[in-house]
Structure 1
Amino acid sequence: MKKIAPLALSVLLLGTVSAYAEQPTTEGTEQVEKAGTFIQHRGNITAVEQRENAQLFTVDQDDNVFNFYVDDKTLVFDEHGNEVKLKIGDTISLSIYADQPMILIYPPQYAPPVVIVEKDDTANSVKVAQFDENFLSDDGQLKLNLNEESVIINTKGEKVPAKELQNYNAIVFYGPTTRSIPAQTAPEKIVVFPKLEEEVVNPEIAPEIQAIIGEDYKEVDGKIMVPLRMVAEEFDFKVASTGNGAIISKGALSYTITRGETKYGHNRALKHFDVAPALLEKNKTYVEYDFVKELLNHIK
């Protein structure tokens, strides 16, 4: 992703902050490095696989391979804030929560809220962060100069007042910056989305599973039901459809599940659900949360 633009261009485009562009300055007596809410992973997409209600992309980052999921909730933009589709060959930067629980499997798998497609022909940059009431990023590296004409919208395209920016996560699309510390910029566009703590979190669901399913769970007869394939494949289990159910396997482990049946096979043993697996959404089978929690225990 492109870095700081030449100083001359900064002076032309950032009249509101040009006075600071003469030389590097600091806004306080000491510049303290802080950890941000998000961390980034970057690389080139080398493969894509269609999964149930999501796509799994494989990325090669200097011979370090990782996978990431994209579904209809994932925000995918280019460096100007235009919505784009991902394809093999794209250079991408994905942002994930720095403190989000990770599944210990190889290659690593992520479910990023934001993916940015990088292009060689643009000088724009993108920052995914949280900002305080002074419009300073949580890592202390970027300050926004906003005015009444600043474009700030939510994921539905609705305008958001600048004074409410601190209540959201923000994707900032910007061009030149000053050479001050922190760098300052007048962003071209800002897209905001809810903070993680504002998303629905069920205390009964393990954080590793919550990170995968988000709000995609149901309650049937007092039992939490979660999407089977989505979680099992994230845990690196193979899921083979049987027409009215599935066989879930990994190494020596094997489970045979049938929709509408409380009995299910575990290797050569027979076990029981309290609530039978069911097709609660189109082409999506849900099972008891306790079952996928058992799958999680097998990979820990």
Structure 2
Amino acid sequence: MDFIMGNRMPGRKRFLSITGTIVELLPAGVGGRRTDGCILFAGVEDTEGNTVNFMVTPATYVVDFETLSVGMQCTFWYAADAPAPLIYPPQYSAVVAARERNGRMVSVGYFDLSMVNEDRTLQLNLDGSVDMRTTNNQYFQGSPSNHNLVVIYESSTRSIPAQTTPREVIVLCDTGGR
């Protein structure tokens, strides 16, 4: 018998990601309505030539508030349990997008009370130097444990789980921090 923690199965990741090159970036309409310019349609091609489409909405957190463009190498994260239309190529609503940069690593996921992520591969060491904010760039005033986080860091130990003192932590307050 499986036990469910909250409404989630233990060990199941909340976010999945795809890395590739943006090959198309267009204003998108929703439900047959004409676009109002607030939603972008991003076509992403991975290294094997597979295409995945992402809807980039005003709720999508873009790391470092970079402007996305065609030709940019990016990783897009989406909610693993979010509904998605059964079409090809697949289409997801992007929760987080990050341009690929040398020396910068980004992790998106749920971190528990011990500040360890869901797949037990990364543990955060938070000292007073870590910049903690919300997606609208306000200082986060609470504890980041038991939240979905965007963690931006440059290096980590080789231990299991790897440990890091991140450069920045973004708390995804509106995506259910349970």
1:123 Cα deviation after fit: 1.1
2:152 to 153, 170, 173: 173
TM-score, structure 2 normalization = 0.82
Which one has a larger percent helix, Structure 1 or Structure 2? 1
1:259-278 aligned at under 5 Å gives the runs none
> 1:75: which partner in 2?
61
Structure 2: distance between partners of 1:75 and 1:197: 15
Report which of the two structures shows the higher radius of gyration computed on alpha carbons. Answer: 1
Q: Is the aligned partner of 1:102 residue 2:84?
A: yes
Structure 1: distance between partners of 2:176 and 2:160: 30
> 1:49: which partner in 2?
26
CA RMSD of aligned residues (A): 1.8
Q: Is the aligned partner of 1:192 residue 2:171?
A: yes
1:99 Cα deviation after fit: 1.7
Q: Is the aligned partner of 1:134 residue 2:114?
A: yes
Higher relative contact order (CA 8 A, sep 6+): 2
> 1:64: which partner in 2?
50
Letter in 1 for 2:42: F
Deviation by residue 1:3-52 (Cα, 9 ceiling, x = unmatched): xxxxxxxxxxxxxxxxxxxxxxxxxxxxxx93321111111111122121
Deviation by residue 1:97-153 (Cα, 9 ceiling, x = unmatched): 11222210111111111011113xx21100001111111111111000111222111
Aligned residue pairs total: 159
Structure 2: distance between partners of 1:195 and 1:136: 20
Aligned residues with identical type, % of pairs: 30
Structure 1 residues without counterparts, runs of 5 or longer: 1-32, 199-300
Deviation by residue 1:68-107 (Cα, 9 ceiling, x = unmatched): 1112221112xxxx21011000111111111222210111
Structure 2 residues without counterparts, runs of 5 or longer: 1-9, 29-34
1:65 Cα deviation after fit: 1.0
Structure 1: distance between partners of 2:122 and 2:98: 18
TM-score, structure 1 normalization = 0.50
Letter in 2 for 1:182: P
